[in-house]
Structure 1
Amino acid sequence: MTMLRIQLTSEDVQRLRMVHTLGPVAEAVFALHRFGRDRARSGVGWHKSVRDRLGDDLPAINEVASEYRDLPDLLWLLERDGIGANSVPSAVRARARRLAQVVFLFCSAGVLPYWPRMQARLENERDMRGRIAITNGVEFLLAGLHPKVTWESSELRISSSLDLDIKPAGRGLILSPSLFLPDKTCVLVRSERQSGVPALIFSTPLDLNDLEAPLEESEDEGDRALAALVGATRAAALRALSESGTTGDLSGRLGISLSGASKQATVLREAGLITTLRNRTTAMHTLTPLGLALLQGELPAEITRLVGTPDDPGNPWVG
């Protein structure tokens, strides 16, 4: 049996971290693969809604989904280096750019409309795993991470079509759940785009019909209330920073430019909703207690009246 082996030093274990997602583009890569694989369900639920949203772009999506039947063929989209500018012919680079454009297009139809709900589920998965690690230790977490994963002698072993040894060499490892990965599947991104650290992504159960179910009233009202106070764009940025991240992380999670992410972070910081710690050229953003309270719908009414709403002239939060 072929095996992917990730050899973790004590320093790697110390730097191991779990995130709730690598972002909507990562989920779009897995969702595109699932969309192409489950052709029998094309007329119902999530599949039908995505097809309807794609409209005239559907043939381009179907072409890519048919051509890239093996998931590993798409994983380079999540790598830091992708396809290097000097390592491949220009025709191959042009094809790669076209593939990336199709994935982003699919992301807008198949992932972003469901992103708030998906994030909530992924955050719950991350939090549950975090409690396991706190209660029983990191080794217990790794040993029970996934049916395809075993932990033995400082080595994560994953059943895979690849026979490969990975040595993070002190960089650590990112663990991330995914809703769209096929059941009982794990994949490795050797150098995650934002951090450059290896990322092991594992499937967590998802009934696609749940994505099309009506939102719970409290969830819907909470989203509307947050958007009403700070505006939809700021609300999305605040949610994206529910797990601390750099400006690059924020850019990737929202699918916007670095300059746009920097602008959103500046406004949230000036409003007292996040703090920013700078280390040379990197800025790490973290929610303040006020930002967390706002995100959880616990902001006191007195503060809400003080800061106003998007309809108030001069409200600096909205944009």
Structure 2
Amino acid sequence: MLRIHFTAEDFTRVRFAPRPSPVPELHAALMMLGAPHEGLLFGRWRGRLLRALPAAAGPLADLAPGGTAPSFLDVLGETREEGLALIRSTRPESVRSELERVYAGHGTVPGWLRGLHGGGPDAWRVVERAQRAAYETVLAPVWELVQDWHRAEFTRHALTVAEQGLGAALTSLAPGLRLPLRDGVWEWPGAPRDVRLAGRGLVLLPTFHWRGGPLVQDLPERPVVLAYPAGGGLPPAPPAAPGEDPLAGVLGRTRAQLLRALTEPLTTTELARRLGVSAATASAHAQALRAAGLLTTTRTGRSVHHAATPLATLLP
């Protein structure tokens, strides 16, 4: 359980990030690339980006040998350049201690990272090139969409605060969150951790590439940033080409066609006939979509009917 400790002053310093931040969004996407779960909704997205990532982005994987990145990468910045500048301004002793922490027990350290440990300018240029290469491949094609989704999320919370108060906005961030805080502690489902705001305040940042628990940036003398999963559950995708189904690039052509066919409940046999596949294939695709919450299956006697869920009707 993540436990965030508030002081009275911190309640006056809770704010929602007004714009998306490229560096945290990129790092959330890169973590999602390395996550083996979410195969249905993120599997094709992951495969496409892993094939497209240039070699210049490879050093970013060196920075997180066990899936844990050094904290000096945890910066905001309203532009990519501002975020990179904040990373580059990290104090040398913090860079050294964080690299030692993430590589403890992980064997040989790549040569270029030894240069970063020593503060070498060539090593910092490697980090900047890797960040830029990853951004151009992963985020640049969908950044306008991320901005649109962020504006919608920000507006939703602004209206909730105005109409129902801050407490209602906070509890709407994830299922199972409750207020009032007990003893000034806000609990989130997730890995055990205690974060003390101590008057620094809290910034709430939606991220549209991460489907795990909240990601916390807790750096000295800075507001704590809590990045939480937002959006419709699908990874942002580039605009579809004319005539192309936008869902096909995420779910696959057959599963996208199956969802499109469910304008009314259909049996497995009827789905198979409409898709031009065997009943066993239609059943397997329906089972995968059911596991993702995109359709329901109801048995009446010997008949099985599949229907789209409300979540499926929200998909583009």
Query: Which TM bucket (shorter chain)?
Result: 0.5 to 0.7
Cα shift at 1:105: 2.4
Give CA-to-partner distance per residue, 1:81-139, whole Å, 9 cap, x none. 86531342765356984556534421221012210011101110111111111111111
Q: Return the match for 1:142 from 144, 150, 170.
A: 170
**Counterpart residue type for residue 198 of structure 2:** P
Match of 1:107 in 2: 135
Match of 2:28 in 1: 30
SS in 1 for 2:157: helix
Matches within 5 A, 1:190-229: 190-191=218-219, 196-208=222-234, 211-214=237-240
Distance 1:94 1:107, change over 3 A: farther
Contact in 1 for aligned 2:208/2:235 (Cα 8 Å)? no
Distance (whole Å) between structure 2 residues aligned to residue 61 and residue 86 of structure 1:
21
Q: List alignment gaps of at least 5 residues for structure 2.
A: 77-85, 98-113, 243-316
Distance 1:179 1:75, change over 3 A: farther
Distance (whole Å) between structure 1 residues aligned to residue 233 and residue 197 of structure 2:
35
SS in 2 for 1:109: helix
Cα shift at 1:145: 2.2
Give CA-to-partner distance per residue, 1:149-176, whole Å, 9 cap, x none. 444233212233243241231x321111
Contact in 2 for aligned 1:20/1:119 (Cα 8 Å)? no
Cα shift at 1:6: 1.9
Contact in 1 for aligned 2:209/2:236 (Cα 8 Å)? no
Contact in 1 for aligned 2:161/2:168 (Cα 8 Å)? yes
SS in 2 for 1:69: coil
Contact in 2 for aligned 1:45/1:212 (Cα 8 Å)? no
Matches within 5 A, 1:33-52: 33-38=31-36, 45-52=44-51
Distance (whole Å) between structure 1 residues aligned to residue 235 and residue 23 of structure 2:
21
Distance 1:17 1:65, change over 3 A: same
Distance (whole Å) between structure 1 residues aligned to residue 131 and residue 176 of structure 2:
27
Distance (whole Å) between structure 1 residues aligned to residue 36 and residue 190 of structure 2:
22
TM-score by length of 2: 0.54
Cα shift at 1:49: 4.4
| CA RMSD, 1 decimal | 3.8
Match of 2:81 in 1: none
Q: Return the match for 2:74 from 72, 78, 81.
A: 78
Contact in 2 for aligned 1:24/1:112 (Cα 8 Å)? no
Structure with bigger gyration radius: 2
Match of 2:151 in 1: 123
- Equivalenced residues, count: 208
Distance (whole Å) between structure 1 residues aligned to residue 166 and residue 26 of structure 2:
29
Question: Is residue 178 of structure 1 aligned with residue 185 of structure 2?
Answer: no
Cα shift at 1:28: 0.6
**Counterpart residue type for residue 46 of structure 1:** W
Structure 1, 103-112 or 140-149: larger mean CA deviation: 140-149
